[in-house]
Structures are given as C-alpha cells and as structure tokens.
Structure 1
Amino acid sequence: MSGGVNTALSIPVIAAALLIGAPALALEKAADVNVPAGGLGKAIQLLGRQSGASIGFRDSRLTRQRVKAVQGRLTPAQALGQMLEGTGLVARQVAAGTYLIESVPQPLARPAPVSRAPAPRAVTAPPEEEPAAEIVVTGTKRGVPLNVYPGGVQIVTGDALSLADGARGSDAISTKVASVVSTHLGPGRNKLFIRGIADSSFVGPTQATVGQYWGNSRITYSAPDPSLRLYDIGSIEVLEGPQGTLYGAGSLGGVVRVVPRAPDLGVSGGMIWAGAQAVQHGQPGSDGGVVVNLPLKDDRVALRALAFGSIEGGYIDDTGRNLKDINDVRTVGGRASLRFAPTADWTIDLSGVGQRISGADGQYAERGGNGLTRSSRIAQPYRNDYWLGDLVVRKQFGPVEMTSSFGYAGQHVFEQFEGAELANLVNLSLEPRPNAAPAAYLQTDRISMVTAETRLARRGPDGTGWVIGLSLLHNEARVNRLMDLGALSVVLTGVRNQVDEQTLYGETSIEPAERLILTFGGRLTHSRLSGDSEDVLRTLAFRIDPTADKARSETRLLPSAALAYRATDRLTLFARYQEGFRPGGIAVRQDFVQRFKGDRVATTEAGARYNARDFSLSLNASWSRWRDIQADLIDGFGFPTTANVGDGRVLSVGLSSRWQPVDGLSIDASLYLNDSHIASRNTARLIVAGVSSNLSADLAAINTERLPNVADATGRIGVSYVAPLSRSLDFQVNGFGRYVGKSTLGIGAILGQLQGDYLDTGLEFRVGTDRQAVTLSFTNLFDARGNRFALGSPFLVRERNQITPLQPRSVRLGFNLSF
C-alpha cells in the first residue's frame, strides 16, 4: 500500500484484525526484507509490502512500539520474530500468510470503555509521526481499508463498549452511532432504521429495512430486533445503505453487523462481572454474567462460552390499576462458540446463541403530570424468545479465501395490548363507551429462517480485489391474533408468509489509475413468495382479494458502482450508486387478507474522509428514491395492517469527526440531517372495500408527509479520558450527550403525532487494572422525560396522548474480575 494513511484516531481502539499488504501468490516463501528500526505501525506496513503477508493487531496502542531493524532473505515468520525480539510481543499465525501481533498471552482482557489510551509508559514515541494502524471494513466480505471504502460507515470497537453498554443491547448502538435510530415499544420488539429509510412504527409482515447480522449469519428478516446483549463483542460495523449487492433484500437503509469475539486457541481464562442499578422514581435493577475461554487441544480447538442475566427495574405507575413501577424487564441468555483449526489455512466455527426478554407491562406513559404515569385497565406484557445456530467454514487458497456459512434463526414474539372496548367491537363504533368491559388484543409471531452462503474473496493491494458468492434463504413467518373480551375470546384472522430466495452476487474493485479505485457489482435474486390465512376459513380471509394466496415469483437485478479517489495520503473522495429491494407479501386488514407488493430503493451518495493522527473527519450526503413504499399502518379500529403507500424520496447528510488534542483525551462529534417526503401516494391500492371512512381519510392525507420515526436532526458528542494513577492502575471517564430531533409516529393523520426532541446523556467512571476494575455509570443525567416513541397501544392512539419517556436518572455500580 502506498502512502500509509493515518486512521487510528478515527476509531479509538482497533478491535478488528488488520490486513496490511496484498496477499501474494507465495505467502510462506522467503523474500528480500529490509525494514529499518522504528515504530511498529510503519514497520509492519513495510514488511507487508515486501513479503506479501497480512499482519495485524487488536490494540492500537502498539502502533508506536519501537521494533528492531530486519534485513535479509527471510520468511514473514522469521522477520517478525527478529523484529519483535525483546518487545514483549509475539506474532501468532492465524491463517496462511496472516499474522496477529499481540502481547504475551494473559488472562482475558476487560471489555472496558477505552478511548485511545496513551502509548505504553515504558516506550518513548519517536519524534517522527508514525502511520496509524489500518482499519479494515470487514462487512465488505473481502476486507476493504477504511481509507478507500466508498460509502458511509461507522465502526464501534468492542473495547469501546462497557459492561453497562452491553446490558442495553441495540440501544447502545443507537447511542454511539448517530445514523442509527430505533422505535421504543420495548426491548425485543423494536425496529432499527438507518439514514432516514424508515417505513413504519410497527413490526408486521414487511421485511425490516435494516439487515442485522451476527458475525456471518443473518439474525432477522420479517421480525423485530431481538436486541441481543452486546457482551464480549469484537466490533460493530454500521454500513449505510442500501447494501443490496452484498446483502440483498432488507438492506434498504443499511446493515448492522455485530462481530462477537471468537474463541482464542492459545489463551485460557475468563471474566465475571456484576452490577447493581438504582433508578430514580423506580425500582432497582441488577445484571451479571461470566465468560470463559478454554483451549481444548494443542492450539487447534477452543471453546468460548458466555452466560448473563439482568433485571431492569420498572418506573411507570398505573393509576387505573393503582400499581407502581409496572414495566420491569428481565433478560436471560447465553452463547457458546467452538473453534477448530486443523491446519493454518482451515478454520471451522460452530456457534449457538439464545436469549429471552420478558417485559411485565408496556413501556409507555401519558403526557402530563410527571410523565411517568398512565391509566390502563389491564396488564400489557410481552416476550421475545430468540435462538440462533450457525456453522462457518473458512479455507485459505493462497490469496483467495473461501467462506461457507449455514445458519438457523428462530424467534417467538408475544404481545398483549389494551384493545378496543367491548361495546366498540360489537357496535363497530369508534365512540368510547366508558362502562364497557376492557378487551385485550393478543398477537403471537413465530418466525424461522434458514440461510446458507458460500463465497470466494480476494483482497488485493490498496482496496482492490473481488468477491463472488451464492446464497440461499428460506423464511417463514406466522402471525396469530386473538381478542380476549373476558368471558368471550374471539379468534381473529392470522396470516402466514413464506419467502424462498436464491441469489448470485459479485463485486470487483480495480485501480485504473494511481490512487483511483473503481468498484462495480451486481446481485441477481430470484424470490418465490407464498402465503395463506391462519385460524379462519380461506373463503372468508380472501373474500376481498381472491388472488392474494397465489404463489408468485420475482427476479431482481441490483447493480452498483462506486469510486474512491485518494487525493492525498489523508484525504479520500468517494461516490457511490446502489440499489436495494424487499419482496412483497400478504397482510391482514381487519379480518381479511390482501397482498402488498415489493418496494425498491435507489441511492446516490458522495462524500469525503480525512484522517490525520490526531484528527479525523468524514462527510457524506445521499439522495434516495423509494418506490412503492411498504408501510405498516393501523386501520380505523386500531388493528395493524400493511399496504404500499406510494413513492418517496429521502435526503440525508452526515458529518462525523474525532479529535485527540492530547494523549489520553479523545473527543468525537457527529450530526445527521434527514429530509423525507412521500412524493406521490398510491390511493387506489389503499382505499379498498371494507375499510372505514376514517382510515380512507387518513390515507388520503399522506401526500407530502415525511417518513416516520427518523428525526430531522440527530447529533452526538462524546468525550473520553484515560490517565494512569500508578504503574498498573488506570482512571478512565467516558461521557456523551445525544440529541434526537422531531419525528412522527407514522404515516397518516392517526399516526402523525410528533415525537422526539429530547437529549439523552450518560457518564461512566472506571478505576482498575487489566484484571479487575470498579465502574460507576450514570444515565439521563438531567432526569429528562422526553418522548422516544408516541405509542403504547395502537388501539388507544386516537383518544390518548401516549408517550414513551426516557428511563429516569439512574446510577449503576459494577465490578469485573478477569482470571
């Protein structure tokens, strides 16, 4: 690679392995090596070029470690051995021609919130500015250096996630990445959105607009975000969308890829942790867990296992039932991963994940008073059970890597809402009857998904290379509904959707001129869609649209093109065009089933990325055209339904930066602006027989409304400081403030209520060593209420002003111990 762009401080701690230099055809052969003494970062860049090896490390503090000069005809292993002699570092071969530099094995390191820490105290930094470690975007499926990646991307390293962050699941991602937003119906039943591409507030049969991945495996399709707890994580990558070429359907807004830490073949150890939380105006909470890593056989087999649990204390009072703090949430789960590396170029990983989230009642309140009370007549519990099993096999064929993955994901979601009153249902009246008996609406979603993918990838120098792959997907989602009227239970029409996809995709990057990288790609997908009604006679369910149950097929070609130009070693300019799509399906409207068709997004984006050692800045703007938008709505009686609402457009601008004014102090800031409109509505498909006049009026009013849930402005500022207290004891403090601007609940007059416009804050202190630490964490420092989501029960949206407040001011005292 030419130039050696500085990128370490754009992401404070590198958790992903670095891949520096292009793999050569003869990776293990001796080469002429001539590397002068100096900093490790510059030395391994030069060695990578000369030997063709891929060399990386996880800890960016090693960048300035001084190493010895190396000269002669040497293999990469020999050169690294001489270079690192006397430094306390070792180079471990993790694949053919691929080495990981790390400290002499120690017990598992803490997952503490670390900003960019000072250089090791025993080392004096050289006077010249050393190049930073190269950050690699692994979500590209072939490893593209960040400095030539042509698109918006945010990377959160695992070391930047504290144990308190891990307990928050997906909320921690939206807190740290300004381009990611979420609904807030409750953990385990939310939807994530990226870059202004948002369809609705409800989780219906539509596919999510954000592709979520756990390592190599997809974890959702037409299901809510399971909010998997983020303990023991290597990195999180947010690739702004669409990402149709590499990830296909459901990546209209982008991709969130969480990479858990893999089993370590050479280290035995573990960690335990626990925390206790006090919530102002609410009940206390607690969390704890354990992680162990066990090498089982001769550096070839290792097991890594994790178990955890938490209780989030409630803070909503229900005056209607005279109950306090009703909305506590309990989470329990775990995962295990077995790694088998029979040779240097084979790796086999078998993993399993399981988690259960149980919410005792709805997370919402009603506007007025102290913002933490509501009046309801029944409890509204929910539950999300999630499990994932996957097998990933990797084989290195010289410079080409083959990856095959097989995954099965299942999700069982149960929800109960306070429904329409009995008199309203019997008389089909929207006028409230105060003396009517309360009703409960119960919905159960059962989703199962099988995925398989095989790909070949080659990473060339300076971001060149290619990837080609074949993927298969089978997803089946069942929705069953029931109205419980006390003495009478009414079974409502349910629906089953099934999607089978076969996909061939490919992407290549070339360098036609110095510093200019062109990327071209495409994805050809064939989808077969089928569905049926549940629990009622088919003749009744399909009486409005008799053809809705007919299987049908769609074939889509999604092209993509991009360029990245390195104007200087520090400045990269990029532009990109890419498309994404979602297949259609069938949905329930009142008590009948009708079809909705697929939608498609085309996005053009341009931006710039600047990286110096102590400062980084990225700016990008995107324009998206969205056709036949699928949206989940509510009908005139409050029942969720799905329809194509028309065509829209989204303009998004993002700015993010990081600055390190002095060693140990890091400041980051980001701002995202979104402007969206439904440019043309599809009234003919929306207003159908059997729909109330109220709903027709709502749908007719959506001509220029903005898309739901995504705020017009989102901004974040974060500060991190690290200082030594003694030779082995460190003090750390991390704080953030995140502003979420105004947005609407949904599309149409019923859901047009404003939400957002609040400030979220947090502060965490840590004192400890590499093996043990005590932490003190504060959230919502100003005890703000805000309104994260203007919905509790869809049946009560018309008559009650519902809000979802921030958790009140809270403090958590925790500890962790490595062994």
Structure 2
Amino acid sequence: MVRDFWLTSRISWRSPIRRRAAAFASWLLPCAELFLPVTPARAREPQFALSIPAGPIGGSLSALSQATGASVGMAGALPQFHAPPLRGSMGVAAALRRLLAGSGWRAVQVGASAYRIERAPQTARRPATPEAREPAEAIVPGPPLTPDIVVTGQKRALLLQDVAMSVSIVPLDGQVSSRFATSSRDLSLSVEGLAVTNLGPGRNRQFIRGVADSPFNGPSQSTVAVQLDEVRITFDAPDPDIRLVDMERVEILKGPQGPLYGSGALGGIYHMVSRKPDLTATSGSMRIISEAVEHGSPGAGGEAVLNLPLVADSLAVRGVGYVTRSGGWIDNLGRNRNANVTQSSGGRLAARWQPDPDWTIDLSGVVQNMNSKDSQYVTASDETVHRNARVPEPTDNDFKSAAATIQGRIGAFDLLATTSYVDHRVGYQLDSSDASEQFGLRGQSTYRDDRKYTILNHELRLSPAGSSLWLAGLSFMQARSHNEASMSSAMTTVAVESLDRKITEFAAFGELTMPLIAAVKATAGARLFRSIAEDEAVEQAGGSSDRIVKTFLSPSLAVSWTPGKRSILYLRYARGLRPGGLAPLGQSVSRRFDSDELGTFDLGIRHTLPGSSLSLGASLFHTSWSHIQSDYLLPNGLISTRNAGKGRIYGIETTAEWRPLTGVTLSAGGSYLHARLVSTEAGLEVDDRRLPIAPDATGRLAAQYDFALGSWATSLSAQANYVGRSRLTFDENLDREMGNYTTASLAAFLRRNRVTIGARIDNLLDVKGDSFAFGNPFSIARAPQYTPLRPRTFTLSLARTW
C-alpha cells in the first residue's frame, strides 16, 4: 500500500473472512503465546524531547506533529490564539494539554496517535489540592482522522498538503502492506511511476515516470538519486538495495530535482527515512522470518532493533541488525538446482546527542553485504525456470556509509550542516564464452567486472526558524568510480578495460515560497553549480583521458492554489541535467558524450472529501529530454555510452482511497505513459522507439480490513497489480518486449500486546511472465533472454517488541 499525497493506507476485507482467519489463528496463536509470553500491562505513553517556541497555535501543532508523528486535526478552521512554548520531555497528550491550556479548547484522543481538537466542556472546576490527581482523559470514539504527513525530501520539514509537486509516501512503520517490503522492487508495486530493472539484487536500476536511458549498468550517471536521510548514496552506481528495516517511510519525489540535489536526479528522488534514536525510553524488537518458494528452495532470516538511552533526554544510540537468506528458484540443468540464492547481512548504528533543546547532533553508519550465488535469467521462455549454464554467474554487493549531521538554531535561523561518505563495491562474473574469439581467447571464458564507487558530500543549509518559506544552502560533492574488467579462459587472462572517473561539484542553491493572492502562492528554486568531470580509460586498444568543466543553472517554478487544508492544485516546471564524460570503448569518432538536459511540466491535484473518507489525486506531466545519455552494447558484449538523441514523455497518474466502513479501506492507482525517442542525435526522426524499462500502463487495486479477533488486533489485506508492456531498449537489434502480466498477493497480521504474527503469499496465482528481458550481455545477441517472475512465495514472521 502506498500513501500517495496525504492518503492513509489501511486496507481490506469483509466479515466472511473471519471464519477462515479464526481457524488459522486457532493453532498459530497458541504457538506465539508459548514461545513469546505477553503481558497485559499497557505500555506507557512514549516521551519526546520537545523544543517548540511560543507562537500561533497552528504552527505549534504542526511542529508537534513533525516532532512526534502524531496526527492532530479538527473539523473546520483552527482557532486563532497564541500558544505557550514547549520545552522538555513529555508525551503527546501532555504537550497538547499545555498548548491548549486556558484556550477553551481541548484535544481528544481518537486513535493510537491521532487527536481531535474540540471545544472544552464548560464545567465548574474545584480548586486543585496537593493530593488531587489529574484524571486520565478517556479515549472517545470518533471518526478517523487523516493524519498530516510530513515530507523531508525537499531538505526541510513540510506538510504534504503544502508541497506543490508529485510525491508518493510509502509508510513503513505499522502499515500492514509494507511489513514485508524489504526492497525497492517490492515498493515499486505500490508506487505509480516507479520502475525497477530485475537484473538481480544489488544490480538493479530505478527509473521514475519513464525517464529511463538504458537497462545496462554502464558508466552513465543514474537518473534517480537514492537518498538515505541526509546522505546521497548513489551517483553512477546501481541501487544498493538497502534493506528497509526500522525505516519510518520512503518518499518518492517525482520529476527533476536539480535545484536541491544537483546533477542527476532527472527522474526524481528515492528517499529513505530511518527511525532516529529515542532519547527517553529503552525499546527494541526482534523478528524471525521464514519463506518457501514454490519450485524453489526455502529461505529464512532475522532482524533485531535496540534503542538505548545513555543519558536521559540527552544521548541515545539505536542499532539495527539483520541476516537473511532468500531462496532460489532458477535451475541450472546438469549443474545445480535453485542456483540464485541470495544472502544478505548488515546493520545500521545511529547516535543522537541533544546537548540542549535547540541543538541536535546525529552520527550514523550503515553496512550491508549482499551476495547472489547465480543470475536469475533463462533462455528458453518466460514459462520456465531452467537454463543450461556453463559457469556460475555470482554477484557481490558491499555497501558502507557514514554520516554526521548537526542542526540547531542560531538567533532567528535554523542551521543544518551534514557530512557523509559512501563506499560501495560491486563485483560480478559472467559467462563470456560466446565472445571469446573477439578477445583473442578460445573456448569457454569468464568475464569478471569489479567496480568501486565513493561519494564525499558536504552541505550547509539555512532556513528561518519555525518556517519553511525559504531555504538556502551550499554544497560540495565528489563522486569517484573505478572499474576493472578482465576476461579469462583456461590458460589466459586478458585485461579488457580500466576506467576511472571523478566528478566534482560546487553549488549554491535555494528555494523560496511567496504568497501571490488569496490561497495562491509561488515556489521558485534554483541551483547554480560548477561541475568538473575527469575521465581516464585504459583499454586493449590504448588509453585516453578527458576533462570537462561546465557551469550549470537548474531552475524550478511552481504555482499552487490551496482553497482548503485538504486540497491543492499545482503547476510545476523544473529542469535537471547530467554532466558529460568520456565514453569507454566507443566506436564513434568522438569519444566524448555530452551533457543531457531535461525539463518537465507537472499539473496535479490532490483533494480529500469532507469527512476524510475519500481521497483523490491526479497528475498530468510532459517531459522534453535532449542529448539523452545512454549506455549501449557493443558487438563484443561490452558497454559504452553515447548521446542517443531527443526524447519526449507524457503521461497521467491517478490515485484514490476510500474508507466506506469502519476498518475497511479500498485504494487504487493507475498510470499511462508515452515515452519515446523521437529523433537521433543527428536529428533524424525515428518511429516508435520506446524509451526502455518503463511500462506503458500500470494498475493497482488493494483492500484492507482491520478488526478484533478476540484479544488480537487483526489486519487482512489483498493487492493486485498489472504491469503493462515495456521494451528493453530503443536499440533496433535489442528491442525486446517484456511485461504485460498481473500478480496478486494476500497478507494477514495478528497483534496482541507485544507479539505480532504475520503471513503473506506473493504471486498468489503463480503467474508466469517476463519481468526483464536481459541477463548476459555476451550472449543476448544470439538468443532472447527472460527473467521469470518469482514463483508463488509463502512468508511467515513472528515478532516481539519490548
């Protein structure tokens, strides 16, 4: 499920399912109680370290929501009065009582973290005595509230209803549908416009709204920037596929994000937001997972999270660790079965120090190692999971990052300074026997590719305290990549290529929101940056080097109309670009590929009907893309880069969510995309050359039913996805079709006190389909290649929190 715009995803079924759920629970629930005894004691309300200045009540409530994640709302307009400051550690209810004290209003809890503002009853109050205790507020049933969603992908906390661009939010904390979402491919089924290749774990590329240049992992910069909190973790590397454990949410910002993120980010931003250390309470969780893949091998895994305050209300650490083994399902005939087993292990460690209420220092580190024992493509058809493989094709993906962020208040301004470093290494092996002769080898040969990517980033940002009207910043980034490739036979090893690339960027950026007329405002942004690209290539034919220095300006402008708190109509235009570079092993006269530029118009609307029972969203977009940088296959199977020409993209996305009954949520989404290469770099018009990877149409239907099964809180959900047709590449020789399939999944979660039991079935009907028409560059010209969908998979989990 995805929370698109301000949509809240809760999900699914009606009461006839209860009988089957009860039968399932009759034997599963006692097992949980046997191994994980639970206590009926109610956990105390979480405490938060708050520092909210005095000001209008509306701003104070927004700041409280941002700091705690609580939802606070009311029917009609908020009252207008001045709220007192909040300083110290307290729960949400206590904070609301202080903010509303003496105002004639009160907050009534209507959900686990939702509160409704209403008139306080006019009752006589007796004088307080030292012995008197404040009575606990009763939880009064009321209509569900749509919580305010905070977006941080624009480098400051903004309420989503104020964001004049297309954004999708996937909540990962407490949402049923996302509890087994561990990768970007899982999330792509819940986000309109997000497409992900399927070369294999740790080797995939992401594309948003058809801004796709190539399915191959060449030297060109990614069109989607992957961000973890304040850290940019990709530049020209594939998606490291960080496991989504103990994450709050993922934000997908659609359209060019050059003004805030610099070069690349032509299609948008994939922003992961982790849970931060809690300064007030010790907590933790453990989860055990097991899976069974039909026609394949079993898998298992475990996750653990520990939050530990070291100094009350001042210093805390939070650690995450996980180990998983995903079962394989591709059989190599005559060699081994279920060859494509993937093992992952990793963790995150974060520390937060708050020396005083106005300043926070965050330190964090991430380590993840991912190893796949073999590739996952076949050559016969997408109906089979068998292939004849001469040699194994393993992949190794090792990722490390470290970051430090300081943020606080200086006078009337909020300051944020962050420094991060990423070390990402990807190595893989391929059967290159079909290309042996082109490299002077005979018979069976193996190709080995080892890559190292590093990113060093410093950024300084300034904004007005308690306001998001403007933002200004300076940044420095240096991205390096080194690639060593060789080919070996029984007696000989040949060095194929060595490529070094360094991109250095200095930038000044900013964004400003200005009111125009009633309920209409404009948001303008710009980034001025200087890019220095240095390339050096060493190949069989010799060596070469290049240096390109350019100064760019990336602008954006949005106009929005917000007639009410839950409605926005916006029109946004933004530009983005990627610097040029040196093409390795190019066959053209010029070895250089030029910078490409992209501009997008986005017209969108988001609206929630009175009562918050129905929410709707739609977006129309048009993109013009010149000098497209594209990685392409040479006749010998190696990958180079060129400017392919001019592209044009237009499309529409729609989303809807409806809560017709208590506990029932229905949601749907769909997209249509027309993405074409319209002319070559020489200006020659071409016919029906589709831009790669992105399907022409997608559809999503989901439902969830939340109810009580005895003493267990139960959620049942179902989801169906249609993935339309797409093409592998606009190269005439490899213009293979893929996609055009429908999958379904079912899930059930039962929770009581601190125990949660989960069960899920993916690819419920065991649908066959080609998810990616590529696997090996050295043999794809000889025969089609297919990547079959993962067969029906059963997953069970048992979790305990404390």
TM-score in same-fold range (> 0.5): yes
Q: Is the 8 A contact 1:737 1:760 kept in 2?
A: yes
Q: Greater CA deviation, 197-206 or 75-84?
A: 75-84
Q: Hey, what does 1:801 align to over in structure 2?
A: 784
Residues in 1 aligned to 2:265 and 2:303: alpha-carbon distance in whole angstroms: 33
Give the number of equivalent residue pairs: 727
Q: Hey, what does 1:551 align to over in structure 2?
A: 547
Q: Hey, what does 1:781 align to over in structure 2?
A: 764
Give the unaligned 5+ runs of structure 2.
12-49, 100-106, 116-135
* Cα distance, 1:315–1:146 mapped onto 2, change above 3 Å: same
CA drift of 1:80 comes to 12
Q: 2:510 matched to 1:510? A: no
Residues in 2 aligned to 1:57 and 1:566: alpha-carbon distance in whole angstroms: 21
Q: 2:189 matched to 1:175? A: yes
* Cα distance, 1:535–1:335 mapped onto 2, change above 3 Å: farther
Select the residue among 607, 610, 623 that pairs with 2:604.
607
Residues in 1 aligned to 2:604 and 2:701: alpha-carbon distance in whole angstroms: 21
* Cα distance, 1:499–1:369 mapped onto 2, change above 3 Å: closer
* Cα distance, 1:76–1:470 mapped onto 2, change above 3 Å: same
CA drift of 1:596 comes to 1.3
Residues in 2 aligned to 1:64 and 1:161: alpha-carbon distance in whole angstroms: 21
| SS across alignment from 1:747 | coil
Select the residue among 213, 216, 219 that pairs with 2:227.
213
Residues in 2 aligned to 1:220 and 1:141: alpha-carbon distance in whole angstroms: 17
User: What pairs with 1:6-155 in structure 2 (closer than 5 Å)?
Assistant: 9-10=7-8, 28-29=53-54, 47-48=57-58, 54-56=63-65, 63=72, 75-77=84-86, 84=93, 123-126=139-142, 132-155=146-169
Q: 2:317 matched to 1:303? A: yes
Q: Is the 8 A contact 2:400 2:423 kept in 1?
A: yes
Residues in 1 aligned to 2:504 and 2:699: alpha-carbon distance in whole angstroms: 39
CA drift of 1:123 comes to 3.0
CA drift of 1:704 comes to 4.2
Residues in 2 aligned to 1:83 and 1:48: alpha-carbon distance in whole angstroms: 16
Q: Hey, what does 1:619 align to over in structure 2?
A: 618
Q: Hey, what does 2:259 align to over in structure 1?
A: 245
Q: Is the 8 A contact 1:7 1:616 kept in 2?
A: no
Residues in 2 aligned to 1:603 and 1:681: alpha-carbon distance in whole angstroms: 20
Q: Is the 8 A contact 2:678 2:685 kept in 1?
A: no
* Residues 705-734 of structure 1, C-alpha deviations (whole Å, 9 max, x = no match): 01100010112122222112245x201122
Q: Is the 8 A contact 2:5 2:167 kept in 1?
A: no
CA drift of 1:376 comes to 1.7
* Residues 405-446 of structure 1, C-alpha deviations (whole Å, 9 max, x = no match): 100001110011111436632689xxxxxxx62221111111
Q: Hey, what does 2:560 align to over in structure 1?
A: 564
The one-letter code matched in structure 2 to 1:353 is V
* Cα distance, 1:742–1:614 mapped onto 2, change above 3 Å: same
Residues in 2 aligned to 1:385 and 1:496: alpha-carbon distance in whole angstroms: 19
* Residues 665-719 of structure 1, C-alpha deviations (whole Å, 9 max, x = no match): 11111111111111210259xxxxxxxxxxxxxxx99664011000101121222
CA drift of 1:168 comes to 3.0
CA drift of 1:663 comes to 1.9
| SS across alignment from 1:55 | helix
Residues in 2 aligned to 1:748 and 1:720: alpha-carbon distance in whole angstroms: 43
Q: Is the 8 A contact 1:633 1:747 kept in 2?
A: no
* Cα distance, 1:486–1:62 mapped onto 2, change above 3 Å: same
* Residues 643-678 of structure 1, C-alpha deviations (whole Å, 9 max, x = no match): 111111111211111111112111111111111111
CA drift of 1:368 comes to 3.4
Q: Is the 8 A contact 1:9 1:659 kept in 2?
A: no
Residues in 1 aligned to 2:567 and 2:62: alpha-carbon distance in whole angstroms: 26
Q: Is the 8 A contact 1:453 1:469 kept in 2?
A: yes
Select the residue among 318, 331, 353 that pairs with 1:317.
331
Residues in 2 aligned to 1:368 and 1:27: alpha-carbon distance in whole angstroms: 61
Q: Is the 8 A contact 2:9 2:175 kept in 1?
A: no
Q: Is the 8 A contact 1:422 1:438 kept in 2?
A: no
User: What pairs with 1:353-392 in structure 2 (closer than 5 Å)?
Assistant: 353-368=366-381, 370-392=383-405
Q: Hey, what does 1:330 align to over in structure 2?
A: 343
* Cα distance, 1:456–1:670 mapped onto 2, change above 3 Å: same
Q: Hey, what does 1:519 align to over in structure 2?
A: 523
Residues in 1 aligned to 2:428 and 2:89: alpha-carbon distance in whole angstroms: 57
* Cα distance, 1:719–1:301 mapped onto 2, change above 3 Å: same
User: What pairs with 1:639-678 in structure 2 (closer than 5 Å)?
Assistant: 639-678=638-677
Residues in 1 aligned to 2:247 and 2:503: alpha-carbon distance in whole angstroms: 31
Q: Hey, what does 2:636 align to over in structure 1?
A: 637
* Residues 63-97 of structure 1, C-alpha deviations (whole Å, 9 max, x = no match): 5899xx99998624399999946x9x8889xxxxx
Residues in 1 aligned to 2:730 and 2:560: alpha-carbon distance in whole angstroms: 37
Residues in 2 aligned to 1:376 and 1:636: alpha-carbon distance in whole angstroms: 22
Q: Is the 8 A contact 1:238 1:254 kept in 2?
A: yes
CA drift of 1:637 comes to 1.8
User: What pairs with 1:528-543 in structure 2 (closer than 5 Å)?
Assistant: 528-534=532-538, 540-542=542-544
Q: Is the 8 A contact 2:511 2:524 kept in 1?
A: yes
CA drift of 1:507 comes to 0.6
Select the residue among 727, 730, 741 that pairs with 2:713.
730
* Cα distance, 1:492–1:165 mapped onto 2, change above 3 Å: farther
Q: Hey, what does 1:41 align to over in structure 2?
A: none
Q: Hey, what does 1:3 align to over in structure 2?
A: none
Residues in 2 aligned to 1:137 and 1:185: alpha-carbon distance in whole angstroms: 31
Q: Is the 8 A contact 2:476 2:506 kept in 1?
A: yes
Q: Is the 8 A contact 2:365 2:400 kept in 1?
A: yes
Q: Hey, what does 1:721 align to over in structure 2?
A: 705
* Cα distance, 1:646–1:703 mapped onto 2, change above 3 Å: farther
CA drift of 1:167 comes to 6.2
Percent sequence identity over matched residues?
29
Q: 2:336 matched to 1:348? A: no
CA drift of 1:460 comes to 6.7
Q: Is the 8 A contact 1:302 1:340 kept in 2?
A: yes
The one-letter code matched in structure 2 to 1:608 is I
* Residues 118-171 of structure 1, C-alpha deviations (whole Å, 9 max, x = no match): xx9963345xx7874322222122333222311110011122556985563212
* Cα distance, 1:72–1:185 mapped onto 2, change above 3 Å: closer
The one-letter code matched in structure 2 to 1:603 is T
Q: 2:433 matched to 1:425? A: no
Q: Hey, what does 1:579 align to over in structure 2?
A: 575
CA drift of 1:589 comes to 1.9
Q: Greater CA deviation, 396-405 or 602-611?
A: 396-405
Q: Is the 8 A contact 2:519 2:562 kept in 1?
A: yes
Residues in 1 aligned to 2:97 and 2:361: alpha-carbon distance in whole angstroms: 24
Q: Hey, what does 1:499 align to over in structure 2?
A: 503
Residues in 1 aligned to 2:114 and 2:707: alpha-carbon distance in whole angstroms: 11
Residues in 2 aligned to 1:631 and 1:73: alpha-carbon distance in whole angstroms: 56
Residues in 2 aligned to 1:649 and 1:752: alpha-carbon distance in whole angstroms: 18
Calculate the TM-score normalised by the size of structure 1: 0.83
| SS across alignment from 2:691 | coil
* Cα distance, 1:176–1:115 mapped onto 2, change above 3 Å: farther
| SS across alignment from 1:294 | strand
CA drift of 1:487 comes to 1.6
Q: Hey, what does 1:757 align to over in structure 2?
A: 740
The one-letter code matched in structure 2 to 1:746 is T
Computed over aligned residues only, the root mean square deviation of the Cα atoms, in angstroms, reads: 3.4
Calculate the TM-score normalised by the size of structure 2: 0.84
Q: Greater CA deviation, 142-151 or 240-249?
A: 142-151
| SS across alignment from 2:241 | coil
| SS across alignment from 1:533 | strand
Q: Hey, what does 1:705 align to over in structure 2?
A: 689
* Cα distance, 1:459–1:11 mapped onto 2, change above 3 Å: farther
Residues in 2 aligned to 1:761 and 1:528: alpha-carbon distance in whole angstroms: 47
Give the unaligned 5+ runs of structure 1.
1-5, 14-22, 32-45, 93-100, 104-108, 429-435, 543-548, 685-699
* Residues 787-814 of structure 1, C-alpha deviations (whole Å, 9 max, x = no match): 1100110111122221111111010111
Residues in 1 aligned to 2:794 and 2:215: alpha-carbon distance in whole angstroms: 30
